[in-house]
Chain A
Amino acid sequence: MHKVKHTRPAYFDYDLIVVGTGAGGGVAAHKASVAGKKVAVIEAEKLGGECPNYGCVPTKALLQAAETFKSASESERFGITATKVSFDYKKIKKWKDAVVARTGTEEGEAFYKSEGVDVIHGYGHFISPWTISVDGKRYNAKNFVIATGTKSVAPPIPGLADTGFITYREAIEFTSPPKSLFVIGGGAIGCEFAELFNTFGTQVQIADMADRLVALEDPEVGELLGALFTQKGIKVHTGVSITRVGKKGSQKVVQIEKDGKVQNIAVDEILVSAGKAPNTDLGLENAGVDYNRGGIITNDYMQTSNKHIYAAGDVVGPYRFTHTASYQSRVAAHNMFHRENKIKAQYYAIPRCVFTDPEIACVGYTEAQLKDKKIAYQVAAVPITVIGRANTSGVDSGFVKVIAGKYGTILGASIVSPRAGEMIHELTLAVQHHMSARQIAETVHAFPTWSEAVRVACQKLKSR
């Protein structure tokens, strides 16, 4: 490709232009405007990005409805008679829509304007390292933050595209649950939708190439989740390859293969949650920004190969969570305007949650990662049933597993338990600040709380 030499403009329209208004972009825009900089944001879709509009927020609103329905349906064992417990999925969708509206994305433009940030709607395309074009109008800036996120990608399964499928974006817009659903992909998104639709009576099947669900976490996590899913009536297919997808009448047929055995499964709908690809089609070559299949390449300061252009969020990775996106965005904004006091983005204490029932939450290293790095470690795990709260709540499945170094420094943890998403933060703090298991074990935990299991697990570790 022929390189074009660009000249730095003498005058800039903005101090910062942020491309994408999700967590990866919004935080940097806010921080820069608070610091008195002239800022603009460019958004091609809804303000707020993926999380509040299509991701975390709507799915958690739907899962809350599912949890409430399940609690009401199973109230008999607590001596409560709730007759004719039923649901109206249209109203559940309305609840979800109301929750999404409450996140403030609809008033996002007014918010940005109140902060003095210009909102530019449209697809941005870099023309040069300092100039971006939106709908034929050019804007230049001293600095940029690229936070364009990701898009769903479908695996190359023969017949899948012709047969048709949905992604999480369509799944949150249903006005009635499908009668049967095949979920391709056993990661966090796939498991949450399997949980959701199973609760509302859909016959759900979930498949993954790996030998367990949520395969990136420690084996016990996926194995327990798989067993609990099976108990609930979800058919779990692990270690399978999907060889073909086709149509039979009004139904869709998924052909799966395991150990040479082929099985055809007919369902009403197929949900693909098997990966995402970064949105890098914005003229990055013209801006001198390097990227690959995984996304935009940055250094620890969130700078791209062109030092005045930063990137944050899902388009960068390594994790694709709202909390990592906002963290990276904060780091980028700080480094942009405090060049004498730069900070590095670090990822060793990022909590990872899956909002199934029970919840899953992990932090730090997994055992497999420590083995790869040849780091000596010790493990302590306790079933959730050892604590009083499990007894009072009638919960009989779950565990807390803590991994520590040779001398007791906490390196990682996995929790499968109600409220695991809340419990993980004690261990996240410990991993972040290199605390020892003894420090947590000696801390008084209130009785009866789920977090007591964390203390009990830490007590079992050898620690200085």
Chain B
Amino acid sequence: MKHIVKRGQHTEAYDEKKLYASIYAACLSVREHPGSAEVIAAQVVKDVGVWLEKKHEVTSNDIRKQGHQRLQVINPDAAHIYLHHRVIW
């Protein structure tokens, strides 16, 4: 199981649904079509999953950076929102 090291150095299991939700929300906030936002979020989650394959423990900042890098290629505006707004709604 992949673990995410949080700011207080405690860990929790990697939950790809969290990443999916935040990417999806970032896409919607830049008026991406909901269907398209779903496709983008799924793609980003898949790519980050590949990156995570050889890693056992990463930080939440790592996940944020990887998510941003991949989203940047697909929708730069959404990527900006994703990186700089921790709470979108």
Interface residues of chain A, those whose CB is within 8 Å of chain B, are 1-2, 4, 44, 122-123, 125, 127-128, 133-136, 138, 281, 283, 285-286
Contacts and interface: CB of A to CB of B under 8 A. Distances in A.
Please report whether the interface of chain B is mostly helix, strand, loop or mixed according to DSSP. mixed
B27 to A, nearest CB: 20
B33 to A, nearest CB: 28
A1 B64 contact: yes
A338 B3 CA distance: 38
Interface stretch (B18-26, B39-47, B52-60, B70-78): B52-60
A11 to B, nearest CB: 15
Contacts of A286: 59, 61-62
21 contacts: A1-B61, A1-B64, A2-B64, A4-B61, A122-B56, A123-B54, A125-B55, A125-B57, A127-B9, A127-B59, A133-B5, A133-B57, A136-B3, A136-B57, A138-B57, A281-B51, A283-B58, A285-B62, A285-B65, A286-B59, A286-B62
B28 interface: no
Interface residues of B, number: 17
Nearest to B1: A136
Nearest to A283: B62
Contacts of A138: 57
A4 B62 contact: no
Nearest to A126: B59
A128 B64 contact: no
Contact of B65 (A1, A125, A133, A135): A1
B83 interface: yes
A4 B55 contact: no
Given A2-B64, A123-B54, A125-B57, 16 more contacts: A1-B61, A1-B64, A1-B65, A123-B55, A127-B5, A128-B9, A133-B5, A133-B56, A133-B58, A135-B56, A136-B56, A283-B58, A283-B59, A285-B65, A286-B59, A286-B62
A1 B85 CA distance: 10
A125 B59 CA distance: 9
A139 B9 CA distance: 13
Contacts of B9: 127-128
B68 to A, nearest CB: 8
A294 to B, nearest CB: 18
Nearest to A44: B54
A138 B9 CA distance: 11
B5 to A, nearest CB: 5
B61 A285 contact: yes
Contacts of A122: 56
Contacts of B57: 125, 127, 133, 136, 138
B63 to A, nearest CB: 11
B71 to A, nearest CB: 14
Contact of B61 (A2, A123, A133): A2
A122 B55 CA distance: 9
Contacts of B5: 127, 133
Contacts of B54: 44, 123
B7 A4 contact: yes
